[in-house]
Amino acid sequence: MPYVKEVFDYLIRTSPAQTEFYQAAKEVLESIRPALDKYPKYRQHKIIERIVEPERQILFRVNWVDDNGVIQVNKGFRIEFNSALGPYKGGLRFHPSVNAGVIKFLGFEQIFKNALTGLQIGGGKGGSDFNPKGKSDNEIMRFCQAFMSELYRHIGPNTDVPAGDIGVGGREIGYMFGMYKKLANRYEGVLTGKSLKWGGSLGRTEATGYGAVYFAKYMLEDRGETLEGKRCVVSGSGNVAIYTIEKLYQLGAIPVTCSDSSGMIYDESGIDLELLKELKEQKRVRLSEYTTYKPMAKYTPVEEYPEGVNAVYSIPCFAAFPSATQNELNEKDAEILLANGCICVSEGANMPSTPEAVDLFVDAKICYGPGKAANAGGVATSQLEMQQNASMTNWTFEEVDAKLAQIMKNIYVSASTTAAEFGEPTNLVLGANIAGFRKVADAMIEQGLV
Ligand code: GLU
């Protein structure tokens, strides 16, 4: 369809060097073509042209002083992409790889992900190129305060509600919340992922990982399969990976790997979850330390990965849970997974598979849950936190977990019925993109040209 190509070419011309954003936009634009054919209204209302443009992008300077008294300068970003369905909602990522294109891809994905949850949340994202690795607690606090000293004027519980992402967890949310409260002079649910002691929701920490496993469960159930007794590989060792592993154990599966940017652990008998939590949540040390406590486990540093391959995906498995970062799983990894008999991939990370890998999964008709569907449990539970804050109530862990499981089921049903409606019942990329797109596009039309 030349029309879609024109919009895409325009994007490349006007937003130079935003490769990750092009990748995310291309996937969505290509997979919604059948919906554009079916409903001429989207073209009449120039929804495609409008949806790829953020409503607002905020770029700001973050000055702070390190422990040696040296001034440091970082970039701050907040992209307010689409508010058709609710206040902008999406996490903050602190990582040296963050740039305008990365935040734009994450914000764009977030629009459709949030729409899929069926809850009232628009799409946004933000972050900084600040590297939290090796920073002292005081440095983290000073950076978070400096970051919020600008961000606070743009956000609010009914405007834009940030949360965590890579490099931003409970500690960072706490420091940012404190600074917001001081500057705005308001105690309100402006951030999610807050501590349970002051406004957080039970189950939010676990939600993204649990959700990705629930999503796999529902995909598999439809094919008469279960995760019970099955070997699974997980990448990453942050919040998403840890709670993916926890839920896999609860469902009787055997997660055998996890990784960080330096290497991967393969523990044939199953990853020691308590040890992993201690290393990553308490001690905040490198994953290589795992073998100090579990000498039988195998640690492979990244330098020893075979050329062009992520070693996590070379371990034979029934299901894979990419839970680290974008483009961590390439065509070669996908080939290896399929050759080894993997029949399920559920993405806890955002856009972890390259377009070539996605094509292989879709063509092979395995159970493939793209990130914007499979990892939506995190942001969905953030919205449950907003609901609790707004009504000044607290739900039990069981209540939140049951709601999360139901939301993941709804997302699966919505993506798979939409995929079937457009003649490709197993293609959840198409199903998720069209289902999310329709919700946002219809709301944009009904709200007029704003
Ligand atoms: N960063 C998470 C995501 O990618 C969660 C966002 C949120 O809770 O607002 O969806």
Instruction: Please write the tens of the pLDDT for every residue from 175-224.
Output: 999 999 999 999 999 999 999 999 999 999 999 999 999 999 999 999 99
| pLDDT (tens digit per residue) in 213-269 | 999 999 999 999 999 999 999 999 999 999 999 999 999 999 999 999 999 999 999
List 392's β-bridge partners, or say none: none
- Report, at the CATH architecture level, how domain 2-188 is classified: 3-Layer(aba) Sandwich (3.40)
**Is the CB of residue 250 less than 8 Å from the CB of residue 444?**
no
Q: What is the pLDDT of residue 1?
A: 62
Residue 162 Cα: closest atom of ligand 1: 9
Q: Are 273 and 242 contacting, i.e. CB atoms less than 8 angstroms apart?
A: yes
pLDDT in tens, 356-394: 999 999 999 999 999 999 999 999 999 999 999 999 999
Which among 118, 125, 63 has a CA at the least distance from the CA of 99?
125
The predicted model scores a pTM of 0.98
Among 93, 108, 165, residue to substitute to test ligand 1 (most atoms within 8 Å of Cβ): 165
Provide, rounded to the nearest whole percent, the portion of the chain with pLDDT above 70: 100
171: nearest Cα among 146, 193, 153: 193
**Rounded Cα–Cα distance for residues 432 and 419 (Å):** 8
Q: What is the CATH number of domain 207-364?
A: 3.40.50.720
- The b/e string for 161-200 (b: 16+ C-beta within 10 A; e otherwise) is bbbbbbbbbbbbbbbbbebbbeeeeeebbbbbbbeeeebb
Going from the Cα of 296 to the center of ligand 1, the distance in angstroms, rounded, reads 35
CA of 162 to the centre of ligand 1 (A): 8
Distance 378 CA to ligand 1 centre (A): 6
Question: Which atom of ligand 1 lies closest to the CA of 92?
Answer: 1
Mean pLDDT across 131-153: 98
**Pairing between strand 71-82 and 160-163?**
unpaired
CA nearest ligand 1 atom 10, residue: 379
**Is the separation of the CB atoms in 343 and 370 below 8 Å?**
no
Q: Give the relative orientation of helices 397-421 and 204-221 as an angle to the nearest 10 degrees.
A: 40
- β-bridge pairing 122-128 and 88-94: parallel
Cα 292 to ligand 1 centre (Å):
33
Contacts of 255 (CB under 8 A, 6+ apart): 232, 233, 234, 244, 245, 248, 249, 270, 271, 321
pLDDT at residue 62 in the model: 98
Q: Cα-atom radius of gyration of the chain, to the nearest Å?
A: 21
Q: Which residues line ligand 1 (CB under 6 A)?
A: 89-91, 163, 165, 192, 350, 378-379, 382
Which residue owns the Cα nearest ligand 1 atom 5? 379
Indicate whether 284 pLDDT > 90. yes
Spatial neighbors of 391 by CB under 8 A, at least 6 apart, are: none
What is the whole-number distance in angstroms between the Cα of residue 165 and the centre of ligand 1?
6
208 neighbors 243 (Cβ within 8 angstroms): yes
**Which of 113, 159, 382 gets mutated to test ligand 1 (max ligand atoms within 8 A of its CB)?**
382
Looking at per-residue pLDDT, the higher value among 25 and 2 belongs to 25
Which active-site residues does the annotation give?
A: 125
pLDDT the model gives residue 3: 81
- Nearest atom in ligand 1 to the alpha carbon of residue 165 is 1
Helix (H/G/I), strand (E/B), else coil: 161: strand
pLDDT tens for each residue of 50-74:
999 999 999 999 999 999 999 999 9
Q: Where in the chain is CATH 3.40.50.720?
A: 207-364
Q: Residue 147: is it exposed, middle or buried by C-beta count within 10 angstroms (0-12/13-18/19+)? A: buried
Domain with CATH 3.40.50.10860 in the chain: 2-188
Mean pLDDT of the residues in the chain:
97
Which atom of ligand 1 lies nearest, measured to the CA of 113? 10
Mean pLDDT of 13-40: 96
Rounded CA-CA distance 134/233 in Å is 28
Q: DSSP per residue over 324-374, as a string?
A: S-TT-B-HHHHHHHHHTT--EEE--SSS-B-HHHHHHHHHHT-EEE-HHHH
